[in-house]
Amino acid sequence: MPHELISHPEKVFFAERGETKGDLAEHYLRVAEPLMRTMGGRPVLLQRFPDGASGPSFFQKRVPKNIPDWLRTTVVSTPNGTTSQALIAADIDHVLWAVNLGCLGFHVWPYLAADPEHADELRIDLDPSPGVDFTHIRRAAHEVRGLLTELGLAGHPKTTGNRGLHIYLRLQPRWDSYQVRPRGGRRNGASGSSSTSTRTRRTRRYSAPGRCAPARARRCPPRWPGRRSTTRIPTSSR
């Protein structure tokens, strides 16, 4: 039975196997508990595919006008100071509301909307580049895992986009997003591994030419509220 928030549940979202908007809604309902444990209460940016997964997409930072009264939103800000009213993944109905708009990708802020001053996630972003394919990304992820193990930290990988990986680490909510990034490999404020360690040098090699290891995340300027704490692999190895 299609959920009441889903209009036109018969619309095909995944043409290869004929799965519909209604099928996606039912899937989210089945996995609601672990899904909400992961993204519940967080602001989200929506990646919408109006014509299904095989069609064009666009990113929507702001919720549309004339949203339902029950929908929860919050103000987020980018480093240049631009603000937007973002959706909060408050419960499964908020997720289904976004699915009904053709949202197939939720880009989740690394803090809870109720506590925007403290990031509780660190994300290490392993992205492809010219000459770097998913084989290199997998090797880099393996080396990152070894580095995190040496530091006594647990990382949880997930695919991102269609060729990359994010590695997530849950943090104590003690620092803001800009403070999280330069800590890189530190644990509870203690000194982390040196970027010249053997494993970090191997990670740099596996990350491919011209790219350096996650432990060398660049130091950021003072934080604006809402800044995401993804640690992207710099494009220069200097």
Identify the sign of the CA torsion 21, 22, 27, 31: positive
Q: What is the pLDDT of residue 15?
A: 94
Of 132, 160, 129, 162, nearest to 54 by C-alpha is 162
Please give the average per-residue pLDDT across 4-27, as a whole number.
95
CATH 3.30.70, domain 119-232, yes or no: yes
Q: CA 237, CA 129: separation in Å to the nearest integer? A: 14
- pLDDT score recorded for residue 177: 81
- Say what the pLDDT of residue 193 is: 30
Residue type, 149: T
Domain borders along the chain are 12-108, 119-232
Quick check: 216 pLDDT over 80?
Answer: no
Q: Does the structure show a pLDDT above 70 at 237?
A: no
Instruction: Give 43's pLDDT tier (boundaries 50, 70, 90).
Output: very high
Rounded to the nearest integer, the mean pLDDT of the chain is 79
Instruction: Please give the C-alpha separations between residue 104 and each of 46, 54, 129, 148, in angstroms, as whole numbers.
Output: 8, 11, 24, 31
Question: How confident is the model at residue 2, as a pLDDT?
Answer: 55
Res 208 pLDDT > 60: no
Residues 6+ apart with CB under 8 A from 7: 100
CB-based contact 229:175 (threshold 8 Å): no
Distance between CA atoms of residues 60 and 102, nearest Å: 11
Each residue's pLDDT tens digit, 50-93: 999 999 999 999 999 899 999 999 999 877 888 999 999 999 99
Where is mean pLDDT largest: 24-28, 121-125, 126-130, 174-178? 24-28
Nearest to 147 by CA among 176, 96, 185, 115: 185
pLDDT of residue 7: 94
Residue-level pLDDT at 158: 87
157-202: per-residue pLDDT in tens? Answer: 988 877 889 999 999 999 888 788 766 544 433 223 333 344 444 4
Query: Which string of b and e fits 151-183 if b means at least 16 CB within 10 Å?
Result: bebebebeebeeebbbbbbebeeebbbbebbeb
